[in-house]
Amino acid sequence: MSSSPLFTSQSSPPLNSRTARANNLSPPSSHRPPPEKLPFLLDKCRNLTHLLQIHAVILRHGHENNPILNFKLQKTYSSIGHLERSFALFKKTANPDVYLYTAIINAHSSRGLHLQAFELYVQMLTQGVEPNVFTFSSLLKSCLIKDGVLLHSQAIRIGIDGDLFVRTGILDVYAKGGDLVSARQLFDTMPERSLVAVTAMLTCYAKHGHLDDARVLFDGMVEKDVVCWNVMIDGYAQHGRPNDALVLFRKMLKAKLKPTEITVLSVLSACGQLGALELGRWVHSYIVNNRIQVNVHVGTALVDMYAKCGSLEDARLVFDGITGKDVVVWNSMLVGYAMHGFSQEALQLFDELREKGFRPTDITFIGVLNACAHAGLVSEGKEFFSLMKDAYNLEPKVEHYGCMVNLLGRAGHLKEAYNLIKGMNADPDPVLWGTLLGACRLHGNNSLGEEIAKFLVSRNLASDGTYVLLSNIYAGVGDWDGVANVRAMMKERGIQKEPGCSSIEVNNKVHEFLAGDLRHPKSKDIYKMLEEMYKWLKDHGYSPQTETVLRDGGEEEKEQSLGVHSERLAIAFGLISTSPGTTIKIVKNLRVCSDCHVVTKLISKITGRKIVVRDRNRFHHFENGMCSCGDYW
């Protein structure tokens, strides 16, 4: 117990002043301490024991009706995590003023108890207490957009809508609620803009994908703190512009700002999207050297980055070193194994996860089902699909159905996959139908494929991929009139085929190539290497699979088309830009074609290089003329 003369050696008394006086605990008035010492003690108080002692002294010495002490007492109870005591004290206060109301509203709002905070606000108005700017600022902290509109109207009526804090709070509500128009109108009419207001507007743009507007605002900011940089970098990473995220990250470092955990999470995500392994390793070193804690969040991001960049060895090292793993960390490693086609390792990890007492989530089963799909484990996949429903009461989502359709379709069980889609509780999306459509093309079931494609087109559910797959089906049987009709439909509806794009990281820089690309500064050397590669391939008995070229024309023209696919340009660049024996890692946005798959296997054997390709579906590890997928992808 404190040695302060304000405290006695008796145990903590009850909070009721009447009880304290009945027990004769109040000293004579001549011995009462001056009340000016009590506010100081309340401001310094950081734990419940001391606060109860101070409260007891206030009651014993008759200061319970002192408005300053009552306000500070209520606020301190809340600040040390005892909202229920703060609220009990508030309810006992006769005729609370605006400061007491604001304090208790802020206490609830700060904890996300918006409904209770709003009820207190209504009570305050009912009792005729007029709110001030601090009341509004407190309410707006956890406000929903529908209530924010009401508060905005009331702020205008009371005449405090021009206050910087109130205006910023309302702007933040509109921004978080996704009302971009209202947020922008409010922002444009602000005579003065705080850093918080600009950050709120910036966050609104970035969160909802208006990245160019966000960048204009960001570049125009005189003062930028690390939060602003994080918002912009994360916006790029979350909306498919990883290159921009990494460029901005480098500028942030040049500006001498120290990255935070949020920064590295966004940057690692961008590295994973690009397959930028060396840059990802540099970020990992930065994390270690700057003592950024590798907690479960950072650890999961590192595992995910390494797996997506093709280094399962590094991913596993990070995974094994994370203490206090949660199920999200386990999922990240399991999904990593699955995307690389290391199905047995993924399933073994699933068993370990359960042995350690973790409850699998829907993400866990996406990883497990993908592992089965990549290895053609049909019966095992069916068992896991039933297990998630029966043992863990997890209702399958469209992603799980997608895994099952892919598993069944690739194994040739087209009718079963078709019936599975038809039996879904929810409406299947175009991606699901597209998966089955791709399986129809793979197994030559043109009638079912055509039926599905026409169904999607008639329901306006067809994506560019749907048209391409339908075109592939017609091309596969030499129906060039059918191909022409599909192309005409695409042109009529303004649909363009997504171009194939492959990227490779060399010396911490990511180089991108499109099919037939001539934009690269080393194009002359790249095409010279392509000619050399073609000679190697011919010497090893390579025969181009011209039937995979989806347009009519002569054999020579089709061979030329195959020879300049984007991944071949990337491989050629990798061969001329890296040392012999170095692993070449490539990321492609589309599924690798069967001809390029054969070519890459041969190149790995001829050059003695390991080549790792990440396509839209999975990873392929090419080594000594073999692929980890076993030609099943």
Rounded to an integer, the average pLDDT of 568-591 is 95
Q: What is the pLDDT of residue 70?
A: 84
- Domains along the chain? 17-188 (1.25.40), 236-311 (no CATH), 501-547+554-627 (no CATH)
List, for residues 442-492, the tens digit of each pLDDT value.
888 888 888 888 888 787 777 777 887 788 777 767 777 887 888 888 888
Does the pLDDT at position 396 exceed 90? yes
Q: What is the pLDDT of residue 313?
A: 94
Q: How confident is the model at residue 550 (pLDDT cuts 50, 70, 90)?
A: low
Backbone angles phi, psi at 502, to 5 degrees: -125, 145
Q: What is the pLDDT of residue 10?
A: 35
Q: Specify the DSSP element, H or E, that contains 266.
A: helix 261-274
Q: How confident is the model at residue 26 (pLDDT cuts 50, 70, 90)?
A: very low
Rounded to an integer, the average pLDDT of 592-612 is 94
DSSP label at 29?
A: G
Q: What is the pLDDT of residue 557?
A: 74
**Alpha carbon of 24 to those of 6, 31, 34, 56, 526: distances in Å?**
16, 14, 20, 13, 96
User: What is the separation of C-alpha 554 from the centre of its chain, rounded to a whole number of angstroms?
Assistant: 47
Q: How many CA atoms lie within 13 A of 9 on its CB side?
A: 0
Gap between the Cα atoms of 132 and 127, Å rounded: 15
List, for residues 73-99, the tens digit of each pLDDT value.
888 888 888 989 989 889 888 889 999
Rounded to an integer, the average pLDDT of 163-172 is 88
List, for residues 495-547, the tens digit of each pLDDT value.
777 888 999 999 888 999 999 999 999 999 999 999 999 999 999 999 887 66
Q: In percent, how much of the chain has pLDDT > 90?
A: 54
Does the pLDDT at position 281 exceed 90? yes
Q: What is the pLDDT of residue 549?
A: 61
List, for residues 210-267, the tens digit of each pLDDT value.
999 999 999 999 889 999 999 999 999 999 999 999 999 999 999 999 999 999 999 9
> Edge-to-edge strand order for the sheet containing 501-506?
509-514, 501-506, 584-588, 611-614, 619-623, 626-627
Q: What is the pLDDT of residue 551?
A: 58
Asked whether 218 and 199 are in contact (CB, 8 A), the reply is: no
DSSP label at 514?
A: E
Q: How confident is the model at residue 429 (pLDDT cuts 50, 70, 90)?
A: confident
* pTM for this entry: 0.79
Q: In percent, how much of the chain has pLDDT > 70?
A: 92
Does the pLDDT at position 23 exceed 60? no
**Alpha carbon of 390 to those of 337, 385, 397: distances in Å?**
25, 9, 15
Q: How many CB atoms lie within 10 A of CB 245?
A: 24
∠ CA 102-104-105, nearest 5°, is 60
What mean pLDDT value characterizes the chain?
87
Lookup: tokens for 69: 């002490």
Residue-level length of the chain: 633
**β 584-588/611-614 pair status:** parallel
Q: Which of 69 and 120 is assigned the larger pLDDT? A: 120
Q: How many CB atoms lie within 10 A of CB 593?
A: 19
Q: How confident is the model at residue 14 (pLDDT cuts 50, 70, 90)?
A: very low
Rounded to an integer, the average pLDDT of 197-210 is 93
Q: What is the pLDDT of residue 485?
A: 83
